[in-house]
């Protein structure tokens, strides 16, 4: 289910530097921080309704932050979970939270990319950083009932093409996903170009790539596909 408008967001992190950095990144966006797990040894509960978070961002640095994320997850099972990890140490991430997360992102992600990824997550699509993709793919093979049925996109650079095709229902880039949403809304190439400050020729290339990746014949079929797969609200 796609969530539009204001998104109450909870932050979980042991490091004050990470918490302050995420808060700064989210400033001025629709992701409104309503809960910050600053004291991870306490169990004060989440903000009461209507501030109950719809999104949880968890930088899992240690056992305390992992347990805090689990507590938040237990109290708000409907909230979408985004886990931050490091590509050079993916094995440190807890499997239970990763398999239940809507996104696994690299800790070095930039602000603009993060906000776009969160928008995609709130639309109901799973997002994975390509630097963590191989590890996640291997773990998902072990856990056969993991995220196999989710629609996924990759960010942060192109992994091996065969690997992408094996585990991603539609390996669209963030830009292609945005273009696809516009197609589902019936927008012309000119309108899309103006919306994203692109040349029309660039939009045509994006559309061509979308049709190829989704194995659709035309814009109408791509729009129908997007709606049927929850990429665009019905």
227 vs 143, which has greater pLDDT?
227
- For residue 199, what pLDDT is reported? 86
Predicted local distance difference test score (pLDDT) of residue 127: 76
Residue 88 pLDDT level (bands cut at 50, 70, 90)? low
Classify each residue of 14-35 as buried b or exposed e, where b means 16 or more C-beta atoms within 10 Å of its C-beta. beeebbebbeebbeebebebbb
Residue 179 predicted with pLDDT over 60: yes
Residue 180 vs residues 146, 149, 211, 213, 228: alpha-carbon distances, Å:
26, 20, 9, 12, 13
State the average pLDDT for the chain.
76
Cα dihedral: 25, 29, 32, 38 (round 10): 0
Where residue 55 falls among pLDDT bands split at 50, 70, 90?
very high
Tens digit of pLDDT for each residue in 137-170? 444 443 434 444 445 555 554 444 333 333 345 5
Sign, CA torsion 37/32/2/61: negative
Neighbours of 219 (CB within 10 A): 18
Contact present, 183 and 223 (Cβ < 8 Å): yes
CATH, domain range 175-228: 1.10.10.10
202 and 159 Cβ atoms separated by less than 8 Å: no
pLDDT tops 80 at residue 66: yes
Q: Which of 28-32, 84-88, 173-177 has the lowest mean pLDDT?
A: 84-88
User: Span 7-171: which CATH code?
Assistant: 3.40.50.2300
The 10s digit of each residue's pLDDT in 96-146 is 888 788 888 888 888 888 898 898 888 887 776 655 544 554 444 434 344
Is residue 80 within 8 A of residue 29, CB to CB? The reply is no
- Look at residue 144 and give its three-state secondary structure: coil
Where does the pLDDT of residue 186 fall: very low under 50, low under 70, confident under 90, or very high at 90 and above? confident
What are the extents of the domains in the chain?
7-171, 175-228
Q: Give the Cα separation of 14 and 199 in Å (integer).
A: 44
Evaluate the CA torsion angle 188, 194, 198, 199 in order and state its sign. positive
Q: How far is CA 128 from CA 32, 137, 148, 152, in A?
A: 22, 10, 13, 7
């Amino acid at each position: 289910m796609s969530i539009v408008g204001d998104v109450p967001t909870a932050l979980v992190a042991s490091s004050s530097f990470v918490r302050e950095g995420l808060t700064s990144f989210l400033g001025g966006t629709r992701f409104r921080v309503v809960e910050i797990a600053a004291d991870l040894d306490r169990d004060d509960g989440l903000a009461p309704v209507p501030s109950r978070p719809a999104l949880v961002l968890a930088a899992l640095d240690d056992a305390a932050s992992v347990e805090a994320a689990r507590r938040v997850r237990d109290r708000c099972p409907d909230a979408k979970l985004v886990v931050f990890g490091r590509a050079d140490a993916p094995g440190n991430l807890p499997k239970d939270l990763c398999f239940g997360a809507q996104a696994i992102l690299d800790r070095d992600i930039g602000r603009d990319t993060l906000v776009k990824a969160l928008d995609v997550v709130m639309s109901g699509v799973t997002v994975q950083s390509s630097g963590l993709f191989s590890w996640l793919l291997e773990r998902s093979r072990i856990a056969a009932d993991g995220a196999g049925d989710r629609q996924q996109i990759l960010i942060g650079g192109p992994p091996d093409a065969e690997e992408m095709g094996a585990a991603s229902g539609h390996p669209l880039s963030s830009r292609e996903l945005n273009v696809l949403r516009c197609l589902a809304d019936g927008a012309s190439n000119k309108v899309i170009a103006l919306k994203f400050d692109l040349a029309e020729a660039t939009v045509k290339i994006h559309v061509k790539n979308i049709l190829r990746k989704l194995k659709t014949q035309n814009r109408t079929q791509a729009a129908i596909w997007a709606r049927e797969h929850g990429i665009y609200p019905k």
